[in-house]
Amino acid sequence: MTDAPNYGFDTLQIHAGAHPDPATGARQTPIYQTTAYVFRDADHAAKLFNLQEVGYIYSRLTNPTVAVLQERIATLEGGVGAVCCSSGHAAQIMALFPLMQPGNNVVVSTRLYGGSITQFSQTIKRFGWSAKFVDFEDQAAVEAAVDEDTRAIFCESVANPGGYVTDLPGIAAIADKVGLPLIVDNTSATPYLCNPIAHGATLVVHSMTKYLTGNGSVTGGVVVDSGKFDWGASGKFPSLSEPEPAYHGLKFQETFGPLAFTFHGIAIGLRDLGMTLNPQAAHYTLMGIETLSLRMERHCENALKIAGWLESNEHVERVTYAGLDSSPYKARAEQICPKGTGGLFTVALKGGYDACVKFVDSLALFSHVANLGDARSLVIHPASTTHRQLTEEQQIAAGAGPNIVRISIGIETADDLIADLEQALNASA
């Protein structure tokens, strides 16, 4: 695609980053299933290795199929660059890696995907990093949690799965005030429904495993950079502002300007951590993104209809969907993601744990799986699966109490989904 700053989202989701293949004219982006790329000569090779010229060396770092996907997502999110990686969790490590040294911490929202809570509360400690969990509804507490060793603030736009919408402009204002980057996980909303960069985010991360691919076929992640953060201003981010010994003292910010974070992600992050996305996975995700807006519209329409239906069902205690009038976050959702709040919510059943298990086992069209953001409707009972290691108190704090079922509404016919839910609710009571 040539310069076209005014194309709409539906055009960009198909064309951004892609060109007919120069060798064959292939209109669809080829899957460049290759590990290495032939150098023109020894001088060309030397320049590539010194980062004096941009080009392909080895597919742990860069690959033409993956590069198209990176440019497409950066464009849709309004960023300057993006680095794809092997999963959403890899993307979170790749986002923090250039920012954090041993002893540093990140201030994170308590309302996060369960796997992110484990990654931040347990695993990152092995790197000498730590996370401070704060309720992001209490913005004074977010600011108070920031100390000299804090290097980032992390939250989800629409939090998975409890129907919580973060006040992104409010949190971004705190990040600005304390001079730290704001990292937003935009997995549940997607760039079609929400653009965190427009609300002040520095970096955006995704699990591409979910809505971006949209059919439950791959695992992938991405980090998008807004290009707006001044990494040298505070002296807190030496990896990006100070000389890098592994590249003859090159300074990423001085050399690459707004692309410093993206180049660091490839030249240091992928080179040494190796959490690379493979070109087959990039291909499936590119196919998925071509229909992102159409799918998200249907996910939102179905979810709103079904959440409303569930709310009035006699076996249901409450439904947490931010699109419902009953949601305390409805007004905020209209500000942050005006086109809709996605396909995810939780439902609390009056019958408690036993009713939830019977309900999940009785569904026929919904699949009982540990995934979300698929074209097909999915369901899980966190207390008996993903959150079963936690105490009941911890489960309730995580929005995954014994009576809670998480639902990911697909793009099937809404009435068929309602009929399935109705028979399973009756069977559960």
Ligand X SMILES: *Cc1c(COP(=O)(O)O)cnc(C)c1O
Burial (Cβ within 10 Å: 0-12, 13-18, ≥19) of residue 418: middle
Q: Which is nearer to ligand X, 156 or 167 (CB)?
A: 156
**Closest approach of ligand X to the CB of residue 379, in Å:** 15
- Which residue number is nearest to ligand X in terms of Cβ? 88
Q: Which is nearer to ligand X, 184 or 307 (CB)?
A: 184
Q: What is the x/- site pattern for ligand X, positions 220-259, by CB under 6 A?
A: -x--------------------------------------
Q: What is the x/- site pattern for ligand X, positions 79-118, by CB under 6 A?
A: --------xxx-----------------------x-xx--
> How far is Cα of residue 201 from the mean position of the Cα atoms in its chain?
13
- Output the CA–CA distances (angstroms, integers) from residue 382 to 142, 168, 386, in the order listed: 27, 27, 5
Helix (H, G, I), strand (E, B), or coil: what is residue 147?
coil
Among 207, 253, 262, 377, binds ligand X (CB under 6 A): 207
CB neighbours of 398 closer than 8 A, spacing ≥ 6? 110, 114, 117, 382, 387, 390
Site for ligand X in 11-40 (CB under 6 A): none
Bridge partners (DSSP) listed for residue 84:
222
**Closest approach of ligand X to the CB of residue 411, in Å:** 18
Q: Which is nearer to ligand X, 202 or 209 (CB)?
A: 209
Among 210, 299, 332, 406, binds ligand X (CB under 6 A): 210
**Closest approach of ligand X to the CB of residue 161, in Å:** 8
Among 34, 121, 139, 219, binds ligand X (CB under 6 A): 219
Site for ligand X in 353-372 (CB under 6 A): 372
**Closest approach of ligand X to the CB of residue 187, in Å:** 4
Question: Which two tokens mark 51?
Answer: 């980062």
For residues 410 and 250, the answer to whether their CB atoms sit within 8 Å is no
Alpha-carbon span 205 to 265, nearest angstrom: 13
Question: Which two tokens mark 107?
Answer: 């201030």
Question: Which two tokens mark 74?
Answer: 């950066």
70 binds ligand X (CB under 6 A): no
387 binds ligand X (CB under 6 A): no
Q: In the sheet that 221-225 helps form, which strands lie side by side, from edge to edge?
A: 81-85, 221-225, 203-207, 182-185, 150-156, 105-109, 130-134
Alpha-carbon span 92 to 119, nearest angstrom: 9
Residue carrying structure tokens 């949190």: 171
Q: What is the x/- site pattern for ligand X, positions 126-165, by CB under 6 A?
A: ------------------------------x---x-----
**Closest approach of ligand X to the CB of residue 156, in Å:** 6
**Closest approach of ligand X to the CB of residue 218, in Å:** 9
Question: Which two tokens mark 21?
Answer: 């293949």
187 binds ligand X (CB under 6 A): yes
Strands 367-368, 203-207: pairing is unpaired
State the Rg of the chain over Cα.
22
Q: Which is nearer to ligand X, 13 or 209 (CB)?
A: 209
188 binds ligand X (CB under 6 A): yes
Which one of the spans 167-175, 183-191, 390-398, 417-425 is the region binding ligand X (CB under 6 A)?
183-191
**Closest approach of ligand X to the CB of residue 210, in Å:** 5
End-to-end CA separation in angstroms for the chain: 56
Among 150, 209, 239, 293, binds ligand X (CB under 6 A): 209
Question: Which two tokens mark 306?
Answer: 């079904």
Helix (H) or strand (E) holding 88: helix 88-96
Alpha-carbon span 319 to 332, nearest angstrom: 17
**Closest approach of ligand X to the CB of residue 90, in Å:** 7
323 binds ligand X (CB under 6 A): no
Site for ligand X in 254-313 (CB under 6 A): none
Q: What is the largest CA-CA distance in the chain?
A: 74
| Residues that bind ligand X in the complex, under the rule CB under 6 A | 87-89, 113, 115-116, 156, 160, 185, 187-188, 207, 209-210, 219, 221, 372
